Amino acid sequence: MGQTIGERMNEWMERRFVGRRFECDVFGQLLSAIHSRTERIINISGTAGMGKTTLLDRYESLALAQGAHSLRIDIAETGSGSDRIWRAVFEGLGRSAEQEAPASLEACISAIHRKSENGMLVLFVDSYEKIGSSDHWFRTAFLPRLPMNMLIVVAGRYSLEGPWRHSPAWKPLIIRLPLTELSYEDIHGYLQESGETDDEAIDAVWFRTLGHPLSLSLLNSSDGGDKAMQPLFSFEDRLEVWLREAPEEELRQLLFAASITRSFHQEWLSALLEKEVASTWFEKLSKLSFVSRASEGWQLHERVWEAMRRTFRERMPDTFERYCGKAVGRCLAKIEEGIRQGRDISREFAEALRFAGNPIMRAHYRHARESRHYMEPVDAGNREEAAAYAARRRDEARPWTVRCADLESGALFRYDLTAEESLLRLNALPIDELLEESPGALKLIRNAAGIVVGLTALIPIHEGTIDYLMRAPLSRAYFQSLSPVRRQELRVAPEQSSGVFVYSIDVDNLEDEELRGDIIPILFEPLLAGSLLVQSPPPLPYFAQACESLGFEETPGARHTGYGDEKVALTYALDTRKSRLPSYLRRMISDSGSLATAETMSDQSTISQLPERLTAREQEVAALLTQGFTNPEIAARLYVSEAAVKKHVNAMLSKFNLKNRTQLAKLILDGGSPDPFPS
């Protein structure tokens, strides 16, 4: 007998399976060492389209290749009742429950034990998120009775929680494998296996799918090897896969609103929608598989967030812009408040930059997220580590290709650096000289394991460093271009520091999104402190466009050849001292189409149209309330107690016969004419 269709399909799927090496290694190791390992359950979790079922297919092939027996059920097909589940298991063993006398759970358990006597048995359970109340039965009445030489793989949108995680009996038995998107290297290998060799076409597919496995699997490649391979999955198609969890229109409207900012909470959504968001609906929203708790509230999964934003903008452009205007207005108001109070505004600044008008800025910042890396000053104690890092970087230098894309415009950006160019910033960094001239300027970047993955040099500008900066290769052109009066203004006491010269920021792999994302917060600190920032990076498109997109401007007469005689580098400066920071932020987002709306929203003329029955303090509270501030935030801004804010809000609700603060905000924004019949 020749090869069957099924065998040919399996061969094709084997060739097309990419990535998940770690997950496959975990399964293979546990399968081969089952008798010496404690773990018996592998829990695969991930949002829709993340490839959970495909990974189960791969696991099943690996199990069969090692001579194990495979048993597979899908809760979405069998149903969630305990009776249906054990019957599906029974039938999967090749036994019909109806042929047993009597058909029972006991007969199913006995059959499993008999099967396991002939070798390893692996039970695969898919779509576990649909098991519902039968989870208790599965955990307490079914799994405990299975033989020890058996492995169970449970896949679902959610990880196993509750007693699964907290019980000391279950905890050591479970290996958790949350699935994320595939890497660029995985996508590259997948497309090359499909016959696609053009790097630009591969980049386009990468940025359309962003490693989402289901999107990747739906590629359209015409006969003849068309290099313009395009995903059949549009953003809206991809979104519908996720939104099957949220069929109600009310819930979908909340999801659209939640996509405006990276993080959200119930009060903010109420302010954005101009209606009270019921706790029951917010609870449903927070329990979706692609919504997770974050430090500032809740967040949509990054790919869902991007797809929601894009779909929202395309379907309802006016509403999208109005919501963005509110978000920008709120960010700017919080930033101005933070500046006045002298507190950290990095979170608000990061949120504001998501609305930046420059597509390159948005593309670079798109993948920025909280980093696991940390900074450490270089001194005599770790100087050798800094030198060892530099030596390793030079020994392992290779070409870099930096890829990023802007979701709003769809623009793709690709920067190719040779091995020599990848070392320019590092080779210009005099470690020993800086340790002597500006102690504290040098810092190591360490990863979570403590390994050095970067080296930075930010030299404070003051009377103790000006002379060095006047002669250092990368900075002397800037300081020599200044007038004597201007240089003298910068000769302040060291404890004051008039600015920072960003001499170098080097990381060991610029292709790594997390490391690349680390560079932005390094610049954030002096920028948000209200400082003069000056830098002169290598004369390459990547660095030049990054500087310009951040708002740096070239300093006339400050070009130099500090990186080599044939490399003419420019010098850039950005001044955020005194009142310049708020205006800088407004300039950054002025091209996004949201600033005018934000300014209109925070316009005090709207508040002045309120009936004279509001006191001056109530008008101040009302102005902040319309911008989505919570009571504690309003209290901090006005330097009053939270109880006082609540008193003013309740007084305004009473005056206009309103039920909640959302109705009050709508009244204010509508010009102060109360609805005689509030809902």
221-238 tens-digit pLDDT: 433 444 444 444 455 566
Question: Mean pLDDT over residues 47-62, rounded?
Answer: 89
Question: Mean pLDDT over residues 585-595, rounded?
Answer: 61
CA–CA dist 295, 373 (Å, integer): 17
Choose the weakest-confidence range: 80-89, 174-183, 287-296, 619-628: 619-628
Find residue 175's DSSP bridge partners.
42
Give the closest residue to 240 by CA, choosing from 258, 222, 261, 214: 214
Question: Mean pLDDT over residues 516-528, rounded?
Answer: 84
Spatial neighbors of 530 by CB under 8 A, at least 6 apart, are 339, 576, 577, 578, 580, 581
Per-residue model confidence (pLDDT) at position 99:
56
pLDDT cut 70: percent of the chain above it: 87
77-91 tens-digit pLDDT: 998 899 999 999 998
Walk me through the domains of the chain, giving residue ranges and CATH numbers: 5-178 (3.40.50.300), 184-233 (no CATH), 238-356 (no CATH), 374-584 (3.40.630.30), 603-669 (1.10.10.10)
How many CB atoms are closer than 10 A to CB 373?
Answer: 18
Per-residue model confidence (pLDDT) at position 43:
96
Per-residue model confidence (pLDDT) at position 233:
46
How many CB atoms are closer than 10 A to CB 159?
Answer: 18
Residue 458 identity: L
- pLDDT of 677 above 70: no
176-211 tens-digit pLDDT: 999 988 888 888 888 887 777 888 788 877 777 778
- pLDDT of 609 above 80: no
- pLDDT of 323 above 80: yes
**Residues 595, 589: contact at Cβ < 8 Å?**
yes
- pLDDT of 458 above 60: yes
Supply the DSSP string of 308-332, one letter for each residue. Answer: HHHHHHHH-HHHHHHHHHHHHHHHH
The token duo for 303 is: 């790919």
Residue 528 identity: L
CA distances from 176 to 145, 165, 227, 516 (A): 22, 10, 39, 28
Highest mean pLDDT among 354-368, 409-423, 584-598: 409-423
- pLDDT of 624 above 70: yes
Per-residue model confidence (pLDDT) at position 188:
84
CA distances from 93 to 79, 117, 435, 454 (A): 18, 13, 70, 55
Supply the DSSP string of 223-291, one letter for each residue. Answer: TTT-S--EES--HHHHHHHHHTT--SHHHHHHHHHHTSSSSB-HHHHHHHHTSPPPHHHHHHHHTSTTE
Give the closest residue to 245 by CA, choosing from 295, 308, 152: 308
3-state SS, 281-304, equals HHHHHHCCCCEEEECCEEEECHHH
Per-residue model confidence (pLDDT) at position 607:
46
Instruction: Using pLDDT thresholds of 50, 70 and 90, give the confidence band for residue 295.
Output: confident
E strands present in 513-596: 532-535, 553-554, 572-575
Per-residue model confidence (pLDDT) at position 219:
58
What is the length of the chain?
Answer: 679
Question: Mean pLDDT over residues 621-627, rounded?
Answer: 79
Choose the weakest-confidence range: 452-461, 482-491, 601-610: 601-610
Is it true that the peptide bond before 102 is cis, omega within 30 degrees of 0?
Answer: yes
How many CB atoms are closer than 10 A to CB 546?
Answer: 23
Higher pLDDT, 360 or 389: 389
The token duo for 144 is: 């405990």
Higher pLDDT, 448 or 354: 448
Burial 501-537 (b: 16+ CB within 10 A, else e): bbbbbbbbbbbebbbbbbbbbbbeebbbbebbbbbbb
Find residue 560's DSSP bridge partners.
569
